[in-house]
Amino acid sequence: TDELMIVNAARALGNAAAAGKGVCFVGIGLPSTAANLARRLYQPEPVLIYESGCIGSKPTRLPLSIGDGELADTSDSVVSVPEIFAYWLQAGRIDIGFLSGAQLDKFGNINSTVIGTYDAPKTRLPGAGGAPEIASAAGQVMVIMRQSKRSFVDKVDFRSSIGFGEGKGHRERLGLRGGGPRIVITDLGVMEPDPETCELVLTQVHPGVTPEQCILNTGWQLRVAPTLLVTETVTEIELETIRALQAAT
């Protein structure tokens, strides 16, 4: 199921790069795996940017963190962290922000800070890092997350990174430059925001997955698109490439 999720995320990034929108600000973990898979499979390659200041990274293995020396060693350029955010991200030079988190709600808001209340959390998470700025300023946001009722909730416990806030128009009221989440890829299928409400709607399922499974694993009343598509079967070359990439770590 993770392979299904990662491959479909890589395909989405490959399609964006083919359309000339492949400058991608990448988070560590599943986003980094999918982004590096896309770089190996598709032409033109997406341009991978990491918040440590690495531009055009071409790692030979999956990086362990944004501070992994492999990212700097294989980059076209390395700049300061303030420059990567101010000159590249906040100035509108990033096409796609590729994110994940612990919780996601029906408007695409992400929580990576706490489970429970902030003052007395049940679990304190690693934190948002650069994700709030990425979610605010990137041309569009792609999210990759494993789907369950625990992670796909009606309202996040803490809004670390904004999606569409409380619904349509909220980003505009806040004056945010970026376009917000445009696709959410899970181990069950694909969600996209409704153009009228900005609420996430199930638009695709992976082979063998039913819409009922997706509904049961979602913490809000998930709507299903009138025309529900099935994602393409994973190919041998996609499987071989992702497994070689993971084995090299």
**236 Cβ neighbours under 8 A, 6+ residues apart:** none
How far, in Å, CA of 31 to CA of 35, rounded?
6
Q: Cite the active site residues.
A: 51
What is the residue-level pLDDT of the chain in tens, covering all 249 positions? 889 999 999 999 999 999 999 999 998 888 999 999 999 999 999 999 999 999 999 999 999 888 899 999 999 999 999 999 999 999 999 999 999 999 999 999 999 999 999 999 999 999 998 999 999 999 999 999 999 999 999 999 999 999 999 999 999 999 999 999 999 999 999 999 999 999 999 999 999 999 999 999 999 999 999 999 999 999 999 999 999 998 886
Tokens coding 14: 């490959």
